[in-house]
Amino acid sequence: MTTDRILPVAAMSLAILVLWYAGALWLNGPQAVEALNRLGDGWGTADFVRQAFAMKRPILPTPDQVAVELFQSLTGTPVTHIRNLLYHTGVTAGSALTGFAMGVVLGVVLAVGIVQVRTLEASLLPWVIASQTVPILAIAPMIVVILGNMGFTGLLPKAIISMYLCFFPITIGMVKGLRSADPLALDLMRTYSAGTGQTFRLLRLPSSLPFLFASLKVAVAASVVGAIVGELPTGGQAGLGARLLSGSYYGQTVQIWSALVMAALLGVALVAAVGVAERALVRSGPGGGR
């Protein structure tokens, strides 16, 4: 199975790298020509390629430029320093995880309420679903400003945006999961005359876990998006979003790309962490998922 996949994925990655360098050549080409002309007439193809791949402010930086920048910004200064990218990643991860935790609590509470109380199911669930169709990120700047007016700055506003993005998939997945208990198993609980609480703890909760973890993976990825977007309106203080914004203000493309790569790594790492937790907690074996 895995050896089946390695070759295509490797080929695809190689294709992307080639396309990336070709794109860099194409996009940075005009600037490179200009720069070389300023230096003098006698330049050949090799000079052109070298110039296009080593621009100071390229339109598309090459992967090696991004890697070098990434390495320097991770090791050039101490981790706690404002110029260290890991510091910014930590800031984003902190608010993403805080928001994620809040979103998990809110999502699970809503799901339990919806499953246990019919009135909530009929009146609230449609609005929870409708909330998904709203481009929630649009209110991100406003939440930051409102909470700033109330004296909350820093982590909390961003965490609230992350929470907002998180709770929906969790609620929906958890409602589905809590309802996924086998009707026969539910009947069995009834023959034991188990109470609502016992049925919930012994049957509904365990059978909802695979659904919960599937949603948690979606939610944790969303929480990173929320934290990054929440950092945009603060005007570039700290965090990966702030790095994106300041990079775009000052035309520092290499900085933008390294922040992007870091954000991608953060997202992948968090999703992988949820996966590890799932493997540790859900013992139903393969196929226990959706």
List interacting residues with other proteins (CB under 8 A). 4-5, 8-9, 11-12, 27, 59-60, 118-119, 121-127, 130, 132-139, 141-142, 145-146, 149-150, 217-218, 221, 224-225, 228-229, 232-233, 240, 244-245, 247-248, 251, 253, 256-257, 259-260, 263-264, 267-268, 270-271
**Least Å distance between CB 251 and other proteins?**
7
State how far the Cα of 267 lies from the Cα of 269, in Å rounded to an integer.
Answer: 5
**Least Å distance between CB 15 and other proteins?**
8
**SS3 per-residue string spanning 60-101:** CCCHHHHHHHHHHHHHCCCCCCCCCHHHHHHHHHHHHHHHHH
Residues 6+ apart with CB under 8 A from 25: 49, 52, 53
Residue (26 or 192) nearer to other proteins, CB: 26
Residue (27 or 74) nearer to other proteins, CB: 27
**Least Å distance between CB 202 and other proteins?**
25
Residue (77 or 248) nearer to other proteins, CB: 248
Does residue 212 contact residue 173 with C-beta atoms inside 8 Å? yes
**Least Å distance between CB 190 and other proteins?**
17
